Structure 1
Amino acid sequence: MPARTQAYAAIVLAGGAGQRFGGPAKPMAPVAGTPMLARVLGAVADADPLIVVGPAGLPAPPDTVFVHERPAGGGPAAATAAGLAELPADAGFVALLAADLPLLTRAAVDRLRRATTDAYDGAVYVDDGGQRQWLCGLWRVTALRAARSALPEKLTGTPLRRLLAPLRVAEVTAPGHEPPPWWDCDTEADRRRAEELANVEPADGAGPAG
């Protein structure tokens, strides 16, 4: 079972077109005064390596690895494959996250790590409607690599669900007193709602990273 001190990597997808929200600069949109990308990176500050799939000019810790999917704009499955290719051969676990999850916390990431037991290939949060949020999860690297190998070499336009759904998935829910870590911001209305949720102080005092 992944423990709090066990090493894990992180892949953050930050290269989407953001057509419904300000274009490619979406990860830099602020929530509670902090860019969404910075909040996500803060939640996985102990990941090693930390990989961002997106423009190299985005603010990030100095040891962050930047990579692009090829061709650019190939979608989240292609971006995931690009990040996966940067992991060391002996990597054990990797968090796979969108850059627009402003309510993600270290506690939420740790919950995913605890859920990925020997019975599962990975764990993802499910939203209030029970839908799996594929870009808010953590996976065994060996399982991800096997899933990648089972698909065609070029993943341009391939849905992320096709890559991840065949794996054994633990579904994780957030405690009701915490802002939902799976909340993503596809529109300005989503960002405004995140602002409201970010101001809800969890009972344990552990607010969103950032």
Structure 2
Amino acid sequence: MGGFAAVVLAGGAARRMGGADKPTLAVAGQSMLTRVLAAVHDADPRVVVGRVSPELPVPVHVTREEPSGGGPVAAAAAGLALVPDTVTYTALLAADLPFLTGEAIDVLRLTLESAPMEGAVYRDTDGRLQFLCGVWRTRALRAAIDRLATARGGLHGAPVRALMDQLGVIEVSWRRPGPPPWFDCDTDDDLRTAEEWAR
């Protein structure tokens, strides 16, 4: 495989959770951000876009989109700016994926490596594509972000869908038992469900 990096989006207002700092919330005694970073332990660099606790147990590069609050596409652009051009693949991930694993990332990387497409993402059981649980060809992702910024006059508030519409993706199914790697915690109920699954 070529070089591999990871950009983890750890911003957002978490309005449905009362403004909590979601990535720091624990599932089975470990913060969701730490769990996501463990799934990409072999990525270099690992970039987190957002606030990071000084107690984070692994080394990462930290950045923020400017101005802050610009949304996931602006955050992805800020993170990708710290990824060298020599890196072939970049995982673009939400920070609230408590069941993401190295195996799930490897499936995406191997799928993308064997196909002439620009990204590989999971398709959930309802048929939705999980764009923030995917692996991308770095140059293609960077070029799509640049095109979108030019078309919109900037990236502030740009929806993820607008970015991904410019990229050819492979849809990957997850058929292993247990919680799916794309399960994210947007509400307190989601967090309780994650705790129950983790037990």
Range of TM-score over shorter length = over 0.9
Does residue 76 of the first structure (1) align with residue 72 of the second (2)? yes
* Matching residue of 2:129: 132
| CA distance in structure 1 between the partners assigned to 2:20 and 2:192 by the alignment | 19
Q: Is the 8 A contact 1:15 1:24 kept in 2?
A: no
Question: Cα offset for 1:126?
Answer: 1.2
Which structure 1 residue ranges, 5 or more long, are not aligned?
A: 200-210
Deviations along 1:84-143, whole A, 9 cap, x unmatched?
A: 111112111000000000010110110110110332101011111010011000000011
Does residue 141 of the first structure (1) align with residue 150 of the second (2)? no
TM-score scaled by length of structure 2: 0.92
Question: Cα offset for 1:24?
Answer: 4.7
TM-score scaled by length of structure 1: 0.88
| CA distance in structure 1 between the partners assigned to 2:94 and 2:21 by the alignment | 14
Q: Partner letter of residue 83 of structure 1?
A: G
Which structure 2 residue ranges, 5 or more long, are not aligned?
A: none
| Residues 77/59 of structure 1: CA separation in 2 closer, same or farther (3 Å cut) | farther
Select the residue among 80, 83, 88 that pairs with 1:87. 83
Question: Cα offset for 1:57?
Answer: 3.4
| CA distance in structure 1 between the partners assigned to 2:162 and 2:99 by the alignment | 26
| CA distance in structure 2 between the partners assigned to 1:58 and 1:73 by the alignment | 22
Structure 1 runs of 4+ aligned residues shifted over 6 Å read: none
Select the residue among 102, 109, 121 that pairs with 2:105. 109
| CA distance in structure 2 between the partners assigned to 1:20 and 1:57 by the alignment | 22
* Matching residue of 1:157: 157
* Matching residue of 1:122: 119
Q: Partner letter of residue 119 of structure 2?
A: G
| Residues 67/189 of structure 1: CA separation in 2 closer, same or farther (3 Å cut) | same
| CA distance in structure 2 between the partners assigned to 1:41 and 1:49 by the alignment | 11
| CA distance in structure 2 between the partners assigned to 1:181 and 1:62 by the alignment | 21
Structure with more of its chain in helix, by fraction: 2
- SS of 1:150 mapped into structure 2: helix
Identical counterparts, % of pairs = 51
